[in-house]
Amino acid sequence: MRVTHPFHPLRGQQLRCVGERYNRYGMTLLLETDNGASCSVLPQWTDAVAPDPEIVMGGERALFRVADLLELASLVDRLSGRDSSGR
């Protein structure tokens, strides 16, 4: 697998997939680095999944996708104890 996420420290490296891990957020891939260590990477951060059309259409210039920003805003609201009305 090739790591494709633009901010991942292993971006561009071709790594061997040694397994999969599942948690409440979904599946992650276990990739073996050159020094023999394993790291957990989301499949969408690799070439195992087709690139997101929103990122492709933006020429990979956008730092964030709209869906990711909305999810982040929801998480911040939950962690800060605010309800959906912003109180």
62/28 same-domain check: no
User: Is 64 a domain residue?
Assistant: yes
What is the number of structural domains in the chain? 2
6/41 same-domain check: yes
4/34 same-domain check: yes
- pLDDT of 30: 94
User: Is 4 a domain residue?
Assistant: yes
- Find the domain containing 11 and state its range: 1-49
CA distance 62 to 6: 11
For residue 40, the surrounding DSSP H or E stretch is strand 38-41
- pLDDT of 58: 76
39/73 same-domain check: no
11/42 same-domain check: yes
pLDDT in tens, 40-75: 999 988 999 887 777 777 776 777 778 888 989 999
* SS3 label, residue 86: coil
65/77 same-domain check: yes
User: Is 87 a domain residue?
Assistant: no
DSSP string for 3-30: B--TT-TTTT-B-EEEEEEEETTEEEEE
